[in-house]
Amino acid sequence: MSRALFFALLLSAWLPPPPAAAADWVIPRSSYYVTEAQQRFPDFPPPPAAGSKEDAADLAALKDWQLRRTPEDCARANAAGHAEFLQFFGDISPFADPLPAEAAVVLKRVKEDTDWAVYGVKGRFNRDRPFLRDAALEPCLGRAGGKAYPSGHAAISRVFALLLADLAPERRADFLARADQAALDRVIGGVHHPTDIEAGKRLADGVYKAMKKNRRFKADLAALRALLPAKAGKR
């Protein structure tokens, strides 16, 4: 055996094995409340076929919003760019300000589980962002990466809204309206088709339904309810 081969084998024995996949190395799959199998949604419907009437309506709606949107619309949409709980609901949150650390932990778990469900469906259909499909479209949110269908912002804002509605049911309409606006802002901003956001809402309903069957989630939801200030749901 040559000296070079000897040292190569010695080095390979000393180094830790590489990760199976880059995504697993960077962001371990989250399954706090929704299992990996539950995150797959194998029967999720596909986006409109390219060139179909529904697809053409998607692009027409985006062009209409591009003509009508205001700087204030774009600023509002940009403010929720990271799809975090406080970006969506900070001003109407039923929790104390600042957000209790215990609540932040649970909400982070909810977001990570939802994100993984979104990533899986996006990867299955690979629908391009609208501005990549029509040169006449220019987003005011920047040329976002990733795929378009379904909208992750629409999904996570609705999951958060459904959770808040369980905590403060008398304010359900307010929370869902805020999530609907957050979803629509992605169309107004030019980074999602209307059918992307409807798919995001559909996926959110499935994710939250699965969460509510999970024993750990039920316990964490009860813990969140205990963190609410008195009369928090009656703003």
Nearest to 117 by CA among 44, 17, 177, 195: 44
Q: Each residue of 36-61: pLDDT tens digit?
A: 999 999 999 999 999 999 999 999 99
pLDDT band at 30 (very low <50, low <70, confident <90, very high): confident
Q: Give the domain ranges of the chain.
A: 21-234
Q: Is the pTM of this model over 0.75?
A: yes
Burial of 86 (0-12, 13-18, 19+ CB in 10 A): middle
Q: Each residue of 101-151: pLDDT tens digit?
A: 999 999 999 999 999 999 999 999 999 999 999 999 999 999 999 999 999
pLDDT band at 31 (very low <50, low <70, confident <90, very high): confident
CB 224 within 8 A of CB 218: no
- The pLDDT mean for the chain works out to 89
Which superfamily is assigned to 21-234 in CATH?
Phosphatidic acid phosphatase type 2/haloperoxidase (1.20.144.10)
